[in-house]
Amino acid sequence: MSRTLYDLIGLAAGIAFILALKGLSHPKTARRGNLIGAFGAGLATLVVFFYASPSVSGKAESSLPLNNLGWILGAIAVGLIIGVPAARRVQMTQMPQLVALFNGVGGGAAALVAIVEYLNLGLEATTAQVVFTVFTVIVGCVSFSGSIITFLKLQELMTTRPVIFPAGRFIIAATLISVIGVGGWVVSALGTTPLLILAALSLLFGVLFVLPVGGADVPIVISLLNAFTGLTVAASGYVLDSVLLIIAGTLVGASGTILTRLMAEAMGRSLFGTLFGAFTAKQQDASGVAEERPVRSGSSDDVAILLNYARRVVIVPGFGLAVAQAQHTVRELADLMISKGIDVAYGIHPVAGRMPGHMNVLLAEANVPYDQLVEMDEINPTFAQTDVAIVIGANDVVNPAAKTTPGCPIYGMPILEVSNAANIIFLKRSMRPGFAGIENELLYDPKTMLLFGDAKSSLTKVVSALKAL
Amino acid sequence: MDAMAILSIFVLSVFVGFEVVSKVSSTLHTPLMSGANAIHGVILVGAIIVADHSETSLELGLSLAAIVLATINMVGGFVVTDRMLEMFKGQKK
């Protein structure tokens, strides 16, 4: 295959990626957009096997078939065996952490590619190539280790609260300075050892960078790391002389940056505050303060009676609903209420679940009609005319602390104003605070009734009690 | 390649990237992020190129690791995005 044909096919793949992002921005074309992107990526991967790209160092003689072809195909097979089942089998509730993990391994791959190319080039590397290599190693490693931490937080394998340690900001600043210093050392000394030290320090920096981020802000960080990985791919494209990688990486870097900003806006957060807020905010008192305070808890019968005489009910689903796999039961309850002539709507917070749009995906899975899902800005003015707001496994997205308590981790986030409803019912497993780890004053409100237990079994009992009325 | 040509490609790609996603409803943030995530899995192409050029077993080992990781990123990313979007089908008013 000639270089011209190879580059033309690369250009076609680049166009496919642009069309993919464009398609993914609109609900109607989203699925097709994703398929176009997959087609472009598959095409780009396929043609590499039919073109012997000359080594940048000129040392390795490349000819078809590719050197190490068996190894390459074997490694791709291993990747498929791990990646496809993981993507197919994952519960939709755990999807955000899988995306974080996929992003992390992408960053790791980019860093490894840069390291290998650097070893291969040796002393013949130009300064520009080394600078781009250093950039890829730093950012790729940060993206890798940072994504692993976001995975651990979302999977709740570690605390979801901001992790703040004494003199944390000095440790982080010192690590960043040494990363940059060692980067300069690599550029001037051209050694393998400095490069490995650089990789290790960058991995450490990624961990330190993400640890102070609170659970509710994790999606924004994933999106940012995603943009980072895109830029590393673009930088690898420069070193490897591949226009396709430059286009694809830059597209992801640019669109990822915009997306990060849009997400931060949807959550009412500033990007700067998300990343550095942990340094300025005082650590929340995690325990001790939560003294025993009276709450009003009710039975499923109490809830059913309240619902039976309501004219308008708003359901506020949260991540707890998804964890309990109660999407289908809540739909049953909604259908029952509608058959009794009650006006029912779902109030969907932009970040209900673990990521923007996550709850829409989960409810769509349960075939909840799309027109019953009402976005936050539209539902908020209607709470004053709402008789009952049922909050199912949600906490942070209705927590008034976001409006009233400056300095708390979710301060400034727009919330669903369920406190304006005449009655509030909370379905909760326990008094444990939400993902962001903040106490919710609404639970102690006199018009709030709590129904403790697993969301699914509680809802099943409410449904049968309501049927009996 | 000519540095000026690379700079032009880079700058124009930045603008295209900004432009295509400037107006997206929050419903699509997660699938869009996931789709963009899958696209940067195309680093697989780079991983295959360096595996082809590898001369020592260290280089080959590292590039094979890169291939495994990049394949997971690319293929897994597109599959999980498709699963998310599958949920939306037929749901529009």
pLDDT value for A11: 92
Asked if the Cβ–Cβ distance from B49 to A242 is below 8 Å, we say yes
Distance CA B13, CA A251 (A): 6
Q: With contact defined as beta carbons under 8 Å apart, do A313 and A342 qualify?
A: yes
Q: What pLDDT is attached to residue A103?
A: 94
- Give yes or no for a contact between A372 and A346, defined as CB atoms under 8 angstroms apart: yes
The type of residue at A215 is: G
CA atoms within 13 A on the CB side of A213: 28
Report how far residue A64's alpha carbon sits from residue A87's, in angstroms, rounded to the nearest whole number: 33
- Catalytic one of A241, A285, A343, A396: A396
Beta carbons of A355 and B29 less than 8 Å apart: yes
Does the beta-carbon distance from A226 to B36 stay under 8 Å? Answer: yes
| Chain B residues near residue A222 by CB distance under 8 angstroms | 33
pLDDT in tens, chain A (469 residues): 788 898 899 999 999 999 999 999 888 888 999 999 999 999 999 999 988 777 655 555 567 788 888 999 999 999 999 999 999 988 877 888 899 999 999 999 999 999 998 888 877 778 888 999 999 999 999 999 999 999 998 888 887 777 777 777 788 888 889 999 998 888 888 788 889 999 999 999 999 988 888 767 788 899 999 999 999 999 999 988 889 999 999 999 999 999 888 888 777 677 776 666 555 444 444 443 445 577 888 888 888 988 988 999 999 998 888 878 888 889 989 999 999 889 999 998 877 777 777 788 788 878 888 778 888 888 899 998 999 999 998 888 888 888 887 777 777 778 889 888 989 998 888 777 766 677 788 888 888 888 888 888 889 999 999 888 8
Distances (CA, A) of A202 to A128, A323, A450: 20, 35, 47
**Nearest CB to A88; choose among B15, B60, B79:** B79
pLDDT at A14: 94
User: Which chain B residues are Cβ-neighbours of A24 within 8 angstroms?
Assistant: 21, 28, 31-32, 35-36, 81
CB contact under 8 A, A358 and B30: yes
Written as one letter, the residue type at B48 is I
Nearest CA in chain A to B81: A34
Residues in chain A closer than 8 A to B23 (CB atoms): 25
User: Which residue, among A97, A105, A355, would best test binding to B if mutated, counting the most B CBs under 10 Å from its CB?
Assistant: A105
Q: Length of chain B, please?
A: 93
Nearest CA in chain A to B29: A356
What crossing angle do the helices spanning A327-339 and A358-365 adopt, rounded to 10°? 70
* Å between B2 CA and nearest CA of chain A: 10
- Between chain A and chain B, how many beta carbons pairs sit less than 8 Å apart? 381
User: Which uninterrupted H or E stretch holds A81?
Assistant: helix A69-89
Q: What is the pLDDT of residue A289?
A: 45
Collect the ranges in chain B with pLDDT lower than 70: 1, 88-93
> β-pairing, A423-428 with A343-348?
unpaired
Q: Establish how many alpha carbons lie within 13 A of residue A262's alpha carbon, considering only the half-sphere containing its beta carbon.
A: 25
Q: Is B8 on the interface with A (CB under 8 A)?
A: no
- Alpha carbon A265 to chain centroid, angstroms: 15
B9/A246 Cβ within 8 A: yes
Which amino acid does the sequence have at A364? A
**φ, ψ for residue A160 (rounded to 5)?**
-90, -5
User: Does the CB of B4 have a partner CB in chain A at under 8 Å?
Assistant: no
Q: Hey, are the CB atoms on A113 and B50 less than 8 Å from each other?
A: yes
pTM of the entire structure?
A: 0.81
Contact A84 B76 (CB under 8 A): yes
Of the candidates B68, B74, B75, which has its C-beta nearest A75's C-beta?
A: B68
- What local confidence, expressed as pLDDT, does residue A285 receive? 42
Of A84, A226, A358, the CB nearest to B37: A226
Nearest-Cα distance to chain A for B8, in Å, is 11
Count of positions (residues) in chain A: 469
Q: Do A116 and B59 touch (CB under 8 A)?
A: yes
| A396 tagged catalytic | yes
